[in-house]
Chains A and B, each alone.
Chain A
Amino acid sequence: MINKLWISLIVIGSLFLIFTGNASILNEQILSSGKATLELVMQIFPLVSLWLGIMNIAKDSGLLDRLSHFIYPLLHKIFPLIPKGHESLGYISSNIIANMFGLGNAATPFGLKAMKSLNDLNKNKDEASDSMVTFIIINTCGLCVIPTTIISLRMLYGSKDPSSIMIPCFLISFISLLFGLLIDRIWRHHK
């Protein structure tokens, strides 16, 4: 699926640029992607490392276990296949909480740890497990109480009420998350 999408993005984009006489833009894009990716990775790598360090303290001290026990009843409804007390639950809850408060930089390493530990439960390491797909859908829906980037952009432009978008954002992302989880369930049971 990703494969087909990737081919379409490149073929459609390239042909359009060539036919509209903008081959120079195409050249520029082909050559600059490597640098753009490296910049992105360099930007997130130190923060990922930092949060992984903090996270490891929480894991070693048992704080993460406490959190996952606390949130288990709720998560069990969404992830019925994860056994009680599994470490992925702690990472999943940390990831969701970090996302909710708009801490994208912290959410990423928690999410990566969650995926890694979900992969420990996975039988076929090539294929995504049901729990992984559900976890990814929660992340793509971007449930967020404080959309920090947008609020700061609104402040920058002198909005009278920068945080006025918070409630509708939360409401709409929550509805679309429920929709996503529902489609996920339906899809899974009809396969």
Chain B
Amino acid sequence: MNISSLFIPIIVLVVIIYGAYKKINVYDSFVNGAKEGLPMAISMFFSLLAMIFGVNIFLKSGVIDYFLSFLKPFLILINVPFEVLPVAIMRPFSGSFGLALLNDIYKVYGPDSYISVLASIIQGSSDTTLYVITLYFGTIGIKKIKHALWVGLLADLFMVIMALIIVPLFF
């Protein structure tokens, strides 16, 4: 597990030592690269603002919980724990919301219960589709994104279905 805490130092060291070995001015190169960060941060701000504005109104409105309450009897019928569904629905919209839900599930059921494991795997098997699309396309100024959003959301849906099928085999 702690191997991951070694990755960053190793990457940094390898890059710097290789640069020194190739006799480039490592310091200047770093500063020149880092300078690009500010224009990037400025251009990402506006599209992120738009998306966070929309997503927060939607997620905090409680409309998801309202509609899920209608689905509850059906879910119990096909043996899907109800608590997992909000995590699945939030996943493409917001990383921090999903993590907060996961936190609540751990608190109630403990981290090793079936519900917690299933929710963790749903949270961990995808990235925040809407954020990725807004950030990457927004920062470089692409307006027509073709089928990227649809395929991203379809893959998310597919991921949840796969998790519901595969996780019971593991745990």
Contact = CB atoms under 8 A, between A and B. Distances in A.
Q: How many residues of B sit at the interface, in one of the four size bands?
A: 35 or more
Interface of B: 1, 4, 7-8, 11-12, 14-16, 18-19, 21-22, 24, 26, 29-38, 40-41, 44-45, 48-63, 66, 92, 99, 102-103, 106-107, 110-112, 117, 120-121, 123-130, 132-137, 139-152, 154-156, 158-159, 162-163, 166-167, 170
A123 B92 CA distance: 30
B142 A119 contact: yes
Contacts, number: 315
Given A60-B24, A176-B158, A103 B7 contact: yes
Contact of A126 (B142, B163, B170): B142
A86 B127 CA distance: 27
A20 to B, nearest CB: 7
A81 interface: no
Contacts of A70: none
A23 to B, nearest CB: 11
B15 A58 contact: yes
A57 B162 contact: no
A76 interface: no
A119 B140 contact: yes
24 contacts: A2-B149, A9-B57, A10-B53, A29-B56, A34-B49, A37-B48, A41-B45, A50-B34, A56-B36, A57-B15, A63-B18, A103-B7, A115-B140, A126-B143, A128-B137, A137-B148, A137-B152, A139-B136, A140-B133, A142-B127, A168-B125, A172-B163, A179-B154, A183-B151
Contacts of B92: 140
B60 A140 contact: no
For the residues of A in contact with B, the DSSP-based class is helix
Given A48-B37, A54-B33, A133-B148, 5 more contacts: A5-B130, A112-B136, A127-B143, A128-B137, A168-B163
Contact of B52 (A5, A37, A142, A177): A37
